[in-house]
Structure 1
């Protein structure tokens, strides 16, 4: 399943050319299940913040309603799917940005093999608090990691603090407490939903600076994004984490308790 709509319709050749040649904008990615999305309001808030930051335009309630309709139109009756909503410059520079909705197959809910992660001290996203279209840096970090025999890359800042993965937040386990890094990074929707759910379930967690030197003290690590909440990290550089699914199970149970918001 591959669907792309621009402002609610299939883009023509000139519009597709503009889509692939203007690398400016921002987006959010979500998983649709049973015609609902976990944390839909957080996704809309992310897009509103991005529009204000990158286009100087703050959408109103009518714009949010229109966005819902654009997503539903692109889904075309599909109840389970992966959806990416992007804002990019419109043909009229003085007008509001265009909205592109891309629909593809839903992400699998099956657990994936543990990742082998490489620390990349040079990898840092621009405007880290936003999910934007300047993705070459993170893709390059992935390619360099793969070329070195790893699966993905983890950003550690010049201050020695763990930040984020290329397309994911990271969480660690220390004793019974889940530890989230505090650093310049994207505040992922899934991460926020998990933190709320863990609070409701009484799971201890904290957000604090995590120096790379502390990585050996943790007993597990997982990656978190809209596609997965239970992807274990088997190793970071030469450091290996013991096989086990305690942290992954905590994440899966917390995520399952998050209600779906109807589109």
Structure 2
């Protein structure tokens, strides 16, 4: 099993909207918008017009825009754009990606705050990953990891390197030898009825934050501690989490010291599934 990193649209052409207005892919500026190198985004799986962690998505987009452009994006503007995109979509079950960037290069280059442009892409929903992945560990630290920014070259590069080496995807560890995150996922570990999140510089994923809130609501023990490469064998299970795969069990992790195999762990899988279900879907 290998992770398909291509755009999964099921034969349906993506719908793109710029600042609330439909954008034809053939337009001259389409390529420029898709290739914007300075910006940030959030991705969500929408079912029946609802998404889990909607407030967290809105907060992420607003705070990241303040940091990158000097001006945030109001919840009203975001919701209006999302609702308009959904109204024009072919289904209430879709994948949505919201990109924030700026075409005003003059003001941006002068450090003057600019109102970000919003590019919304609506495509078919993405099915969860079918098989537990085998991960190959790389030493890698993403720049400004607290932002879900558009600098994803390294994530794709290491994911491809893992696949070329016969694995399914990449897992990252920092210069101290501590696990941080995976290419497009956060990662957590299970041991003795507890869920452990790596204490490292990582993107605070929306699904990760939702799961943590769900675990707290269920009074399930969780902690954030350093997870050295040398400690991997001490955990009962490992899971990858993102909007597509809220709790994808990991089959194995290969590090410079060897390979750790994980067997299915129904107890921890049930805990995470219940934590995920404890956070309701929000109507867009």
Q: Does the residue aligned with 1:195 lie in a helix, a strand or coil?
A: helix
2:127 is aligned with 1:108:
yes
User: How far is 1:49 from its partner?
Assistant: 1.5
Q: Equivalent residue for 1:8?
A: 20
Q: Equivalent residue for 1:89?
A: 102
Which residue, 64, 78, 84 being the options, matches 2:75?
64
> For this pair of structures, how many residues does the alignment match?
258
Gapped runs of 5+ residues in structure 1?
none
- CA 1:201/1:21 → structure 2, altered by over 3 Å: closer, same or farther? closer
User: How far is 1:191 from its partner?
Assistant: 0.7
Distance 1:138 1:86 in 2: 18
Q: Does the residue aligned with 2:204 lie in a helix, a strand or coil?
A: coil
TM-score of the aligned structures, taking structure 2 as reference length: 0.86
User: How far is 1:70 from its partner?
Assistant: 1.0
User: How far is 1:91 from its partner?
Assistant: 4.3
Q: Equivalent residue for 2:61?
A: 47
8 A contact 2:72–2:115 mirrored in 1: no
8 A contact 2:217–2:278 mirrored in 1: no
Distance 1:21 1:199 in 2: 39
Tell me whether 87-96 or 237-246 shows the greater mean CA deviation: 87-96
Runs of 4+ in 1 over 6 A off after TM superposition: none
Distance 1:117 1:167 in 2: 12
Q: Does the residue aligned with 1:48 lie in a helix, a strand or coil?
A: helix
8 A contact 2:69–2:116 mirrored in 1: yes
Q: Equivalent residue for 1:193?
A: 210
TM-score of the aligned structures, taking structure 1 as reference length: 0.93
8 A contact 1:161–1:210 mirrored in 2: yes
Q: Equivalent residue for 1:24?
A: 38
Matches for 1:171-250 after TM superposition, within 5 Å:
171-237=188-254, 238-250=259-271
Distance 2:237 2:20 in 1: 43
8 A contact 1:90–1:96 mirrored in 2: no
RMSD: 1.6
User: How far is 1:247 from its partner?
Assistant: 2.6
Gapped runs of 5+ residues in structure 2?
1-11, 108-113
Distance 1:23 1:7 in 2: 18
User: How far is 1:89 from its partner?
Assistant: 1.2
Q: Does the residue aligned with 2:56 lie in a helix, a strand or coil?
A: helix
Matches for 1:119-134 after TM superposition, within 5 Å:
119-121=137-139, 123-134=140-151
Distance 1:83 1:176 in 2: 34
